Amino acid sequence: MKRIHLFTIVAAVALAGCGSNPMTPEEYRDAIRKHSLGKVETFEVKRSLSEVARTFQKKAPECLNFKLTSTQTPTIGFGSSTRVYAIAKPTVLVSGNKAELHFQVKSIGNMAPEPPDGNYIVVADARAAGKDRTRVEIYRGGGAVVAEAIRAWANGDERGCPDPMRTFDR
């Protein structure tokens, strides 16, 4: 698992928005559509839905599973310790003529209600738009580099994974 530092947690919490956190992908989509800082990107690719879905199934687990950590050095003593603050997790769901990619971050010790796998950062939907075309919608508050990777994956570009240090960039 990849590790990134504490300051990204602050960004993740800020992106969760005001009020109650969306608890489902549909609630997240609605919140992004309504929020002034939310972004919805829609585009089509010249690939079948099954090709796009296979790429999401391959790249999301490879690239979007990581821990957010902070290294602590004791005032007196030797060595250091690493503390996990959050765990990032992707989920890919494929059914009928649709594929969904959910990217969530679960904060350790978060007192606010959040979905079981953490707050939604990016939700992407892919739907068949013809024989060899797929329409993709990406919903995000932050997660610019994750959205960029999803765009590339949808187009068939299996480039390297997004930089976890930039996961929450707007």
Q: What is the pLDDT of residues 98-113, one digit of tens each?
A: 999 999 988 887 788 8
pTM score of the predicted model? 0.83
Residue pair 140/147 in contact (Cβ under 8 Å)? The answer is yes
**Coil, strand or helix: which one is 90?**
strand
Whether 22 shows a pLDDT value over 90: the answer reads yes
% of the chain exceeding 90 in pLDDT: 56
Q: For residue range 55-81, list pLDDT tens digits in order.
A: 999 999 999 998 877 766 665 666 666
Q: Which residue has the higher pLDDT, 138 or 11?
A: 138
Whether 21 shows a pLDDT value over 60: the answer reads yes
% of the chain exceeding 70 in pLDDT: 82
Alpha helices per DSSP H over 35-128? 49-63
pLDDT for position 25:
98
pLDDT for position 80:
64
For the chain, how many structural domains are there in total?
1
Instruction: Name the strands in the sheet holding 39-45, side by side, starting at the edge strand that comes first in the sequence.
Output: 2-4, 66-72, 81-95, 98-107, 119-128, 134-140, 39-45
pLDDT for position 14:
45
Residue with tokens 């800082």: 37
Query: What's the rounded Cα separation, in Å, for the pair 126 and 94?
Result: 9
pLDDT tier, 132 (very low <50, low <70, confident <90, very high otherwise): very high
Q: Which residue has the higher pLDDT, 33 or 142?
A: 33
pLDDT for position 55:
97
State the CATH number of the domain containing residue 112. 3.30.530
Enclosing domain of residue 46: 2-166
The first and second tokens of residue 51, run together, are: 């090709």
Whether 151 shows a pLDDT value over 70: the answer reads yes
Q: For residue range 155-170, list pLDDT tens digits in order.
A: 999 878 988 777 777 7
